[in-house]
Amino acid sequence: MTQELLEVRNLRVEIPTRRGTLVALDDVSFSIAPGEVLGVVGESGAGKSLTGAAIIGLLEPPGRIAQGEILLNGERIDNLREEAMRRVRGRRIGAIFQDPLTSLNPLVSIGKQLIETIQTHLDMSRAAARERAIALLESTGIPAARERIDHYPHQFSGGMRQRVVIALALAADPEIIIADEPTTALDVSIQAQIIALLKKLGRERGMAVMLVTHDMGVIADCADRVAVMYAGRVVEIGPVKAVIHRPSHPYTVGLMGSIPSMKSDAKRLLQIDGAMPRLTAIPPGCAFHPRCASAFARCSKERPDLMTAPQTRAACWLIEEGTRASAPLAAVSD
């Protein structure tokens, strides 16, 4: 069997405050195989971006990893010193963030930024690094890359800047890319191009991709598997088709039910009642139970772990009860 490229085991992230310690991620576990795209979805505040930040060692203080392990090709990286982690970040793990302008220095040409990144991680002369930078820009769809390599970020459109950021993430030929909302700020047509590009590059290079997003359309087009997060935990994980068409957790049922469908004649969209709980007010038992139409007494007292469902793995007591989850939904009027 192929060894998993990235393994996250029982990850717990805490944030100490004057009023006590908040648990931002609680017992998060998943893995990604070489060449696989894992989509991570959920509402704002679910812990998606925080999981990515923990993996690449960029948790903002006072946030800290309190428990668990993060393994890259079988080697632990969560306990590395900052200097060692810097060598991993960029060289073995690439990162793509939501706004390309936060990843690019507006005062430095894209060519210089690419060349510096390549020379930081790879033993190359400046001339060889420049040729690699041009090849990377070409591979990510930048037209006339040899002429445009000396241009500055403001001379590129939003979609082209995001392609430059992808080229930067690929500069040292990493084993995995953490892509955090990489298409949110882009037009729909450009989003599709960027997602297709990420998927193509992952397949060609055998590179794993962890795609963090709230857009299920993006997940459906790109991901092989999906992890659904809620209140700092993975509540369901499985193959993309199973999660979309046969979800087992009521929260996932709600997410899928709130997506407009071209095939449906329904005149109303559906929404999940309530809101994601704050870190200071996560309820006991299953954190989703106050919003769940299928909740029963056990849900408010005991927290379920991931268990085998018909086609996925889900953290829901309904699976033990042999009951199908109903949508925790309310109609939104036209």
Could you write out the DSSP letters of every residue in 210-256? EEE-S-HHHHHHH-SEEEEEETTEEEEEEEHHHHHHS--SHHHHHHH
Exposed, middle or buried: residue 245 (CB in 10 Å: 0-12, 13-18, 19+)?
exposed
Higher per-residue confidence, 180 vs 215: 180
> pLDDT exceeding 70 applies to what percent of the chain?
92
Q: Is the CB of residue 314 less than 8 Å from the CB of residue 252? A: yes
Q: Distance of CA 283 to CAs 49, 59, 231, 276, 279, Å?
A: 22, 25, 10, 11, 10
- Residues 299 and 296: their CA atoms lie apart, in Å, by 6
- Domain 6-223: state its class: alpha beta
- What pLDDT is recorded for position 202? 83
Q: Is the CB of residue 12 less than 8 Å from the CB of residue 216? A: no
Of 128-142, 202-216, 253-267, where does the model show the most confidence? 128-142
Token pair of 199 as six digits: 């998927």
Which DSSP string corresponds to 47-79?
A: SHHHHHHHHTT-PPTT-EEEEEEEEETTEE-TT
Classify residue 89 by its DSSP letter. Answer: B
Q: How confident is the model at residue 160 (pLDDT cuts 50, 70, 90)?
A: very high
| Portions of the chain given CATH number 3.40.50.300 | 6-223
Exposed, middle or buried: residue 100 (CB in 10 Å: 0-12, 13-18, 19+)?
buried
Alpha helices in 122-235 (DSSP H): 126-139, 145-148, 158-169, 188-205, 216-222
- Residues 161 and 168: their CA atoms lie apart, in Å, by 11
Residue whose C-alpha is closest to residue 267's, from 202, 331, 209: 331
- What pLDDT is recorded for position 221? 82
Q: Left (φ > 0), alpha (ψ -120 to 50) or beta: where does 231 sit? A: left
Q: What is the per-residue pLDDT across 4-51, written as a single tens digit (0 to 9) for each?
A: 999 999 999 999 999 899 999 999 999 999 999 999 999 989 999 999
- For residue 292, pLDDT beyond 70: yes
- For residue 265, pLDDT beyond 70: no
Other beta carbons less than 10 A from residue 112's beta carbon? 16
